[in-house]
Amino acid sequence: MVLLPLLRWWLTLELIGLVALPISMHLLRFLPERGICFRRAVGLVLCSVLLWLLVTLGLIQNRLPAAVVSVALVAAGSLVLVRSNGSALLEQLRAQQRLVLIEAVLFFSVLLLFGVWRA
């Protein structure tokens, strides 16, 4: 039964990474891989900081809906970037297609190994 929680974590991190991909590619455009490999980290940091800020300001309670709101705010920021630079971002993503696949397989493998090791 280790696989179900791991699958949930993986799906959550993939969702956050996909939501933050345009922001990561924009902020880290100077890197050779254009920030694609840092999408999960950037997404986690942005969502966490937004959640912390919303809770600290007393605008929302620290519950699941607050986390969903923070992810939605990051998605809104990404949407703004996609609307302004969508074709350039897509072109860069296509150019790094192999790297994206390697990074995804590597991340999943390490997550699976760590989950099995900790179980």
Q: Given phi > 0 = left and psi -120 to 50 = alpha, else beta, which region is 31?
A: beta
Measured in residues, the chain has a length of 119
- pLDDT, residue 38, reads 92
Query: pLDDT tens digit string along 31-47?
Result: 888 888 899 999 999 99
Instruction: Provide the residue ranges of all domains of the chain, joining segments of one domain with +.
Output: 3-118
**Mean pLDDT, the chain, integer:** 89
For the record, the structure tokens of 103 come out as 């990074």
Q: pTM for this structure? A: 0.84
